[in-house]
Chains A and B, each alone.
Chain A
Amino acid sequence: MYADNVIGDKLIHKPKFILGLLAVAFLAFFTFNLAGTMFGEFLRPVIGEPKESGLYGRSAVALVLAVLFVGNLFLISFANIKVQVAIVWIELLLLFLAFFYSFNLKFSFIQSKIGFMITQGLFTTLYISAVSIAIASLIAIVGAVAKLSNNGFAYGIASFYTSLFRGLPLLMQVFLIYMGLPQIGYVIDAVPAGIIALSLCYGAYMTEIFRAGIQSVPRGQWEASRSQGFKFGLTMRRIILPQAIPLIIPPTGNQFIAMLKDSSLVSVIGVWELMFLARTLGQKEFRQMEMLITAAFIYWGMTMVLEVIQSRIEKHYRKKGQQ
């Protein structure tokens, strides 16, 4: 967004605003009676037994929380923006962890299962997604070229393909491929079937990404190459795609991150990936919550790592373009 070069007074430094915010925060915390939560426990010395503290306990908890919230905002406002972001992240993360902690999770159970979740679940998820995104990229290049071509046959196939596979739920494609292919004589296992379904589905989406990327390369690049006598394939490979790829990488990274999570759909055909194990491992001991939360953190961590990698790649291409 556009940041102006004139800085006004910070709202949070105005006494009136602080008081108003305090009032709003107090009312908000008061509305949800928080005396029965761990905040009430902390205030036990002041309000006595939280459950019996009544209106007094409720307002005391709300007041303390409101002061903490506004005080926090006020203090953060003095830091520079990087520190602000870091503090907010840490605070939200702690709140999030406290939220899970309040579930009374059995950490020894998580400890006993997390190894298997990673070696079997995470590995399978990553493996399926990585192979699928590679195949999907190849499909997308071919699809994009076909969609941009003047050949009616190629355009027809490519547009039918993207229309069909973008138009069906991925889950249905998984079923269609797993159960449908054997009907015409090709019996494939669950993992290859899942990879085919993910590749075809994401290939369809990525065809559009690649098409837009290729189209964004200026016409003059084609004219310069053709006027030098470069044939179509050479122009595509050496001139157009290298310029399109920096534009294609960010949305493709997003697709990969989305695919990591969509790959959980192949659990319906019995692939032991992360989601499958998250639902299965805790079932016998009624510890589903532990496994779901563990899987959630694995997915989240994996996504964050990928986001870092993606931004590195983006930076690399941006640098190259600006040199």
Chain B
Amino acid sequence: MSNVNQKIAPDDLVISMQGVSKWFGAFQALNDINLSVKQGERIVICGPSGSGKSTLIRCLNRLEAHQKGKILIGGIEMHQKMKNIDKVRQDIGMVFQHFNLYPHMTVLENCMAGPNWVRGVSKSDAKDRAMAMLERVKIPEQADKYPSQLSGGQQQRVAIARSLCMQPKVMLFDEPTSALDPEMVAEVLETMVELAESGMTMICVTHEMGFARKVGDLVVFMDEGQIVERNNPTDFFENPQSDRTKLFLSQILSH
């Protein structure tokens, strides 16, 4: 564990991907991905379905294994034989498309579990922290309910609070609004915007272009496992360079 802070890369690089490739059998899901994320940076990844954006984000905390290239998280390389994977994961919050709350535990217990079980936080401190985070996502009154009693938007906000309770260094969002009914998208996005404004380092796979415009530092467009284009939001939307990006934008913005 002593090497956690050993190899801190220059410029506070939180995440660094160098020439990362991944295959599912013969199918190449990621093709030579290079991406760096600095402390406090907000990255939005978009692209058509099957373009590899979810795979990319899942490689970052090694829910998927890459086969080629290097991924560094806080200077630690993610590889097959790493011993401290659990410690690294504790610092990476992840929000899933389908929330993945623990259905047999109350909202409060969902939020307390991580800090109490693996962060060594006492039960009462964990509870205080959980309540604070539930305040932050604006559903403290739901603390004693079970996930199945909440709406989709509320569940996703609980999922965000659950991640925040771990006090992560970076948050990954894997299509957090795709499974929601339209009227619930706004409340989740609002929560995410507030989080972004608080200075959290975030990587979001999303099609919510309004969100990208509002808080993104960098928009990355992927297709067929490659990063086709990356730019700041203004230029990305006003002046896309590649044909594929233009086509994609025309498709999602025409609705």
In the complex, is A directly touching B at CB under 8 Å? yes
**Does the CB pair B114–A229 fall under 8 Å?**
yes
**What 1/0 mask marks residues of chain A from 215 to 255 whose CB sits below 8 Å from any chain B CB?**
00010110111111111001000110011000000000000
Q: Which of A64-72, A125-133, A315-323 contacts B (4 or more CB under 8 A)?
A: A315-323
Chain A residues within an 8 Å CB radius of B102 = 221, 224-225, 239, 243
Nearest B-chain residue to A231, judged by Cβ: B86
Interface residues of B in 181-205 (CB under 8 A from A): none
- Cβ of A319 to closest chain B Cβ, rounded Å: 10
Q: Which of B38-46, B93-101, B245-253 contacts A (4 or more CB under 8 A)?
A: B93-101
**Does the CB pair B148–A229 fall under 8 Å?**
no
Q: How large is the interface on A (under 10, 10 to 19, 20 to 34, 35 or more residues)?
A: 20 to 34
- Cβ of B143 to closest chain A Cβ, rounded Å: 13
Counted as pairs of residues, one from A and one from B, with CB atoms less than 8 Å apart, the total is 65
A12 CA to B225 CA in the complex, in Å?
68
**Does the CB pair A243–B89 fall under 8 Å?**
no
- Cβ of A259 to closest chain B Cβ, rounded Å: 28
Chain A residues within an 8 Å CB radius of B162 = 228
**Does the CB pair A227–B118 fall under 8 Å?**
no
Our pick among A239, A243, A320, A323 for the contact of B149 (Cβ within 8 Å) is A323
Nearest A-chain residue to B149, judged by Cβ: A323
Our pick among A229, A242, A243, A321 for the contact of B86 (Cβ within 8 Å) is A229
Nearest A-chain residue to B159, judged by Cβ: A224
Interface residues of A in 266-323 (CB under 8 A from B): 320-323
A231 CA to B103 CA in the complex, in Å?
19
**Does the CB pair A226–B89 fall under 8 Å?**
yes
Interface residues of B in 153-167 (CB under 8 A from A): 162-163, 166
**What 1/0 mask marks residues of chain B from 70 to 94 whose CB sits below 8 Å from any chain A CB?**
0000000000000000111110111
**Does the CB pair A227–B94 fall under 8 Å?**
yes
Our pick among B100, B114, B163 for the contact of A223 (Cβ within 8 Å) is B100
- Cβ of B97 to closest chain A Cβ, rounded Å: 9
A320 CA to B147 CA in the complex, in Å?
11
Chain B residues within an 8 Å CB radius of A224 = 94, 96, 100-102
A-B pairs with beta carbons under 8 Å apart, 18 shown: A218-B100, A220-B96, A221-B102, A223-B63, A223-B96, A224-B101, A226-B89, A227-B89, A228-B89, A228-B162, A228-B166, A229-B86, A229-B114, A238-B117, A242-B104, A243-B102, A320-B104, A321-B104
The 3 A-B pairs with the shortest beta carbon distances in the complex, nearest first, are: A229-B90, A224-B100, A220-B100
Residues of chain A whose beta carbon lies under 8 Å from any beta carbon of chain B: 218, 220-221, 223-231, 234, 238-239, 242-243, 320-323
Q: Give 16 A-B pairs besides A224-B100, A243-B102, A323-B145 with Cβ atoms closer than 8 angstroms.
A: A221-B100, A221-B102, A223-B94, A226-B89, A227-B92, A228-B89, A228-B163, A228-B166, A229-B87, A229-B89, A229-B90, A230-B86, A230-B114, A234-B118, A243-B104, A321-B148
